[in-house]
Amino acid sequence: MFVHLLAFAILARAVTSWLPIDRNGPVVRALDAITDPVLDPLRRVIPTIGMIDITPMVAMIMLFAIGGALEGAA
């Protein structure tokens, strides 16, 4: 369950990055605080493709794989 919530937060952060909203708003700052511990280490390893940051997509794939493994183990 936690893995799915974290993946949803990453998706929400990616979507909000496309919208013309205040980057200092409380919702955006909360999403940043929740997802930065996952995304920042990956950003050091995964290069951007042109102007596209694929880190959220890679993080979500990893989270779904981890979530599937945890559900299979239970």
Query: Structure pTM?
Result: 0.88
Model confidence pLDDT, tens digit, residues 18-36: 999 999 999 999 999 999 9
Q: Count the Cβ atoms, other than its own, within 10 Å of residue 14.
A: 18
Q: Which residues have CB under 8 Å from 11's CB, separation 6+?
A: 56, 60
Place 71 in a pLDDT band, splitting at 50, 70 and 90: confident
Rounded distance between C-alpha atoms, residue 58 and residue 7, angstroms = 11
Rounded distance between C-alpha atoms, residue 5 and residue 10, angstroms = 9
